[in-house]
């Protein structure tokens, strides 16, 4: 179910900065007919050639309005997300976990539910969820975010099953630390450029790929899943213990 970008009409969430802005600009450069740039703040600056859309994916009203306004799209890119850098148990409360789950899982789910019939009406198209390397493991310093991305990974796989019959390509995009404002919190880790992630994601859509793994670290972690308890977690355990002696 390959989908061409040239001539496509696309909605990108979280399109005012970081990875989302690169998505919008790259889609236009590849010949997309229309790119709707969703942002929570209606005054946010988006790519000049994009069509700005007020869109907070945690707001049912915003999502419903976007589905009505963008009823012509054939590609949806669910890029919007938040990260609070909180552990699941040592955090002072559950506020960060709730906020991350509300945006990264429930917000993405809300977008998928609202736009699945739109994509069906327009011939199937593509639904793209921007996920993460931490969909597959829990970094204890950031584990509530990891949980939300694991949930979004499960959502992506389930949506693929439900939407296959209507001809919609469902693609999960996975990357390690991306060199954006969000990625700045991880100074000691290798970073992948947002342009590289976007290029691979758009190539994947055009090739009909159901998963796009954007860097070597991501590919290594996915390959290690059968042995994650022995290959992935000991190093994270050591870092946690060093940071929390006693």
Q: Which helix (H) or strand (E) holds 119?
A: helix 108-121
Q: How far is CA 6 from the centre of its chain?
A: 22
Task: Tell me the C-alpha distance between 229 and 196, whole Å.
Answer: 30
Indicate the pairing of strand 51-54 with strand 211-213: unpaired
The residue annotated as part of the active site, out of 36, 105, 145, 233, is 145
Taking the C-alpha atoms of residue 149 and residue 24, their distance in angstroms, rounded to an integer, is 22
Structure tokens, 49:
């050639």
Catalytic site residue 145? Answer: yes
Interatomic CA distance for residues 142 and 152, integer angstroms: 16
Q: Enumerate the active-site residues.
A: 145
């Amino acid at each position: 179910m390959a989908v061409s970008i040239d001539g496509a009409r696309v909605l990108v969430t979280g399109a005012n900065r970081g990875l989302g802005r690169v998505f919008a600009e790259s889609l236009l450069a590849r010949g997309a007919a229309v790119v709707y740039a969703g942002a929570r703040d209606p005054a946010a600056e988006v790519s000049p050639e994009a069509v700005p859309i007020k869109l907070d994916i945690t707001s049912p009203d915003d999502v419903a309005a976007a589905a009505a306004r963008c009823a012509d799209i054939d590609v949806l890119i669910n890029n919007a997300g938040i990260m609070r850098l909180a552990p699941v148990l040592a955090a002072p409360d559950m506020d960060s976990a709730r906020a991350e789950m509300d945006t990264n899982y429930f917000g993405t789910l809300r977008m998928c539910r609202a736009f699945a019939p739109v994509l069906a009406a327009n011939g199937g198209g593509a639904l793209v969820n921007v996920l993460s390397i931490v969909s597959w493991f829990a970094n204890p310093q950031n584990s509530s975010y990891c949980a939300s991305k694991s949930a979004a990974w499960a959502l992506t796989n389930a949506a693929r099953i439900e939407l296959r019959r209507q001809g919609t390509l469902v693609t999960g995009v996975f990357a390690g630390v991306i060199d954006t404002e969000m990625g700045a919190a991880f100074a000691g880790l290798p970073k992948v450029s947002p342009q590289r992630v976007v290029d691979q994601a758009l190539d994947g859509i055009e090739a009909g790929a159901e998963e796009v793994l954007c860097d070597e670290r991501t590919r290594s972690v996915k390959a290690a899943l059968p042995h994650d308890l022995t290959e992935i977690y000991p190093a994270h355990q050591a870092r946690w213990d060093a940071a929390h002696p006693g």
